Chain A
Amino acid sequence: MEIGLIELSRLQFAMTAMYHFLFVPLTLGLSILVAIMETVYVMTNRPIWRQMTKFWGTLFGINFVLGVATGITMEFQFGMNWSYYSHYVGDIFGAPLAIEGLMAFFLEATFVGLFFFGWDKLSKVQHLVVAWLVAIGSNFSALWILIANGWMQNPVGAEFNPDTMRMEMTSFFDVVFNEVAQAKFVHTVSAGYVTAAVFVLGVSALYLIQDRHKDLARRSIAVASSFGLAAALSVVVLGDESGYSASHTQKMKLAAIEAMWETEPAPAHFTLVGFPDQEARETHYAVHIPWAMGLIGTRSLTEEIPGINDLVTEAEERIRRGIIAYDALMTIRETRGNVPDEARAVFEQNSDDLGFAFLLKRYVVDPRTATGAQIAQAAEDTIPRVFPLFWAFRFMVALGFSFIAVMAYFFYRASFRNMQFPRWSLYAAVAIIPTPWIAAELGWFVAEFGRQPWTVDGVLPTAMSASHLSIADLLITLAGFILFYTVLFVIEVRLMVKYIRKGPFQDVEETDAWQARHEARLRQTPGAPSPSASPLSTPAE
């Protein structure tokens, strides 16, 4: 198989997936923030909250549509570009994707139209229910997608069937409650909540700097910072959970992220910074924190975390067992209808390592004919590129911790300093708007690049997964996607900027009518504070 084709297929998938994930996190978080704002509106009946719902809802809509549009590519790209992958694991991987459509995507897409066009056609409570259904649908969508992705990282609940030459599901329960998938789900949606919180915070800070829409901005900051603080804490905690599960499910990925070349006596130290050198298999200028890695990775003082060199030796053993499995598989295929019991027994004993024999298909047509050098090379191939993983991971974690600090600060000012924010903090809030997207993309890079050379860890190598298309096919679609997505991106950013400039749509009549009623009510209650005593009770300016 030509390497050029695999690389182009990977490039196209990486590009379309990362582009799709520019829109997803904001959809996940903003759908919930908007639903929270509308809940406050329905509970308090204050028009400012309706105005906030509509304003952030408009920005949500501009973003949502591109999430939907780019998601379509994802649903079909497995079949288009990764046809062997689709055949080989579709029996397991397809199910969560289909359930996502049935359970989640239908819900959010059907109700999102009603959210925008149903204000006059529905009662307040009905409209609120619609807003929550959109939010729930979006978040359930993420659940099923991450169950599918979690299975690629930790393929549980499935076994190879020699008759159909593919993996088949043995336990749906195991696939759904895969520990990797569950940790990834909460980590990913929390990242989405942080993204939306930073976005709302930044846009609101801009309004405060420009001295306009201040009531909307202050309330939005209050909602965003409390929601964002909880989410930022959750991202870091669940990121740690992902690391813990990786220490026993994806040992090579963990070792590569940490540039742990050798197995060290427990508890291992954590390398804070350094320059990993893949050729020499060592990390130059490393700064260590004693014990930390052992504690994070194993939550014990005695358990060892295997280093890269030991894992390569283990991979070589698995390749040799994989060749035995492959040989038995060929016997089973040739003697169909009359398979010797012995071949079945040999196959079943070694079938867990079949995928490792496929690593040799890059070098030989029939893995059984591989030389010792080729086997050693294939074992070496199981190490992902360490340097980019090491640094991408560290940037992501640093951003994650900084979000906690930002959210905590704004939460403190909003709750205990009467919503007064120093000017420097507002400028900072605007400046950091892009950072959660960077953190999210780095996170996906670590998860997917760190799984190489596999599409399904230990089961199917990437080099075997792609469709047999021509380079020309790939170049045409790659160019098409780049052109198309760039144009759409420019248009969407321009529209976002336009609608942020334009500011919230003012329900003037309703606001006045409400204020009159509200003041009348207050007059009937002696000693009640005037409506503008606290910033949270002021109606729209």
Chain B
Amino acid sequence: MILHEMIDYDTLRVIWWALLGVLLIGFALTDGFDMGAGALLPFVAKTDTERRVVINTVGPVWEGNQVWFILGGGAIFAAWPPLYAVSFSGFYLAMFVVLAAFIVRPVAFKYRSKRDDATWRARWDWALFAGGAVPALIFGVAVGNVLLGVPFYLTDDLMPMYDGSFYGKFLGLLRPFAILAGVVSFSMLLMHGAAWLTLKTEGPIAERARRIGAVAGMTAAGGYALAGLWLAVGIDGFALVNDVVPAGPSNPLFSEVSREGSWLTAYWLRPWIIVAPVMGFVGIALAVMGLRAGREVSTLLWSKMAITGIIASVGLTMFPFILPSTVAPDSSLTVWDASSSHQTLFIMLVCALIFMPLILAYTSWVYKVLWGKVTEADVNENADTLY
């Protein structure tokens, strides 16, 4: 097949690097408010009816939202197989905890209100809280570890191996900078969940959500600024040494990598990427003001802009690195040497171009059908059929 040569291999790699970002952002924007609302559940809703209101704001949409996570996994597998292989086996136990959260959360949504029993419901409420809070924290910790570099290396057969001090040890992930990144992602998603509840609920629930959301937003902004400062002064970046062949074969061992300078030199090389962190800070500021003033639609939009900016800033800062290695920098995965073949990237792009617009269209339609607030009256009238 010659068709795939219509687009250069290196161009396709950059497109798929951007699409990887789109998927992660799509996941954070949609499933993010589910996780945020789950983490807020015990604090914004006190009575059983209030809790059911919060649960039912996400009840009809969490399944679709969670697919962003699954699609993210599938797309990394298809477009960045070495990344899929190294990261999920390297973060093995952390991934297991995330999976556990994503398994228990759907079940909790579905089964919680199927029995009229306070102990039963309290247990599932706890599961919803943990199912939202724990992944929100772990995703940030994982991103922090990626910025610090991960202790893996590739054998000559490209078998991923892990340094003993790290691999298998969940606690090895909890380095101070990574914890800070976890705090940023947790508080960012808490703010997002609060913005969602402001839009979808009313009365005391919405008021509590707004109060907590404003604090969470300010925490996220502070943590994000601190992380930037830390990257500037305390953490070494990675750089490609030899001339890269952007359209070369996907073998990470073919390139030479050194640890020098700072990640933030990227802002000197490509000044326009400053847009991303600016979006992050401005988005948070406007979302916090919106929460305080009780604005609904605009607050959620600003919160989305903040999340987009923060996630994009990580990818843009690291480009072309995707997963740097501390113990064997030459094994680091980059955009130029960790992708699928030219043909697979092309076929997957065609599929994405066909289906992504469809997905966005029908997802928007579903949100439109479900538009409007969930109230205590709704829950009481439909006590048998709602979550």
Contacts and interface: CB of A to CB of B under 8 A. Distances in A.
Interface in B332-357: 340-341, 343-344, 347-348, 351-352, 355-356
Given A79-B84, A100-B74, A505-B384, A61 B343 contact: no
B200 to A, nearest CB: 13
A399 B362 CA distance: 41
B67 A76 contact: no
Contacts of A99: 74, 78, 348, 351, 355
Given A91-B81, A113-B61, A467-B160, A101 B67 contact: yes
B101 to A, nearest CB: 10
Contacts of A491: 107, 111
Interface in A459-475: 467-470, 472-473
A129 B115 CA distance: 31
Contacts of B225: none
Interface in B43-68: 59-64, 66-67
A84 interface: yes
A485 to B, nearest CB: 9
B362 A110 contact: yes
A45 B381 CA distance: 25
B60 A117 contact: yes
A185 interface: no
A140 to B, nearest CB: 11
A299 B75 CA distance: 41
Contacts of A171: 1
B215 interface: no
Interface in B194-221: none
Contact of B69 (A66, A72, A95): A72
A106 B364 CA distance: 13
Given A84-B160, A87-B81, A106-B67, A76 B369 contact: no
A134 to B, nearest CB: 10
B158 A87 contact: yes
B169 to A, nearest CB: 9
Contacts of A81: 89
Interface in B111-145: 111, 114-115
Interface residues of B, number: 75
Nearest to A472: B168
Interface in A98-136: 98-103, 105-107, 109-114, 116-118, 121-122
Interface residues of A, number: 75
Contacts, number: 244
A78 interface: yes
A355 to B, nearest CB: 13
Contact of B107 (A65, A95, A103): A65
Contact of B114 (A72, A165, A470, A495): A495
Interface in B272-324: none
Interface string A171-187: 11000000000000000
Given A164-B251, A469-B168, A110 B75 contact: no
4 nearest CB pairs, A to B: A90-B81, A79-B88, A94-B77, A94-B78
Interface of A: 61-62, 65-66, 68-73, 75-76, 78-81, 83-84, 86-87, 90-95, 97-103, 105-107, 109-114, 116-118, 121-122, 161, 163-166, 168-172, 333, 336, 467-470, 472-473, 476-477, 480, 484, 488, 491, 495, 498-499, 505
Given A71-B70, A79-B84, A81-B89, 15 more contacts: A66-B107, A68-B66, A72-B66, A75-B70, A75-B74, A98-B75, A99-B351, A102-B71, A106-B363, A109-B67, A116-B385, A169-B341, A172-B347, A468-B161, A472-B168
27 contacts: A62-B110, A65-B111, A69-B104, A69-B107, A79-B76, A80-B95, A80-B96, A84-B85, A84-B157, A86-B77, A90-B85, A94-B340, A95-B78, A99-B351, A106-B363, A111-B366, A116-B385, A164-B250, A164-B341, A171-B1, A172-B1, A468-B159, A468-B162, A469-B89, A484-B103, A488-B107, A498-B114
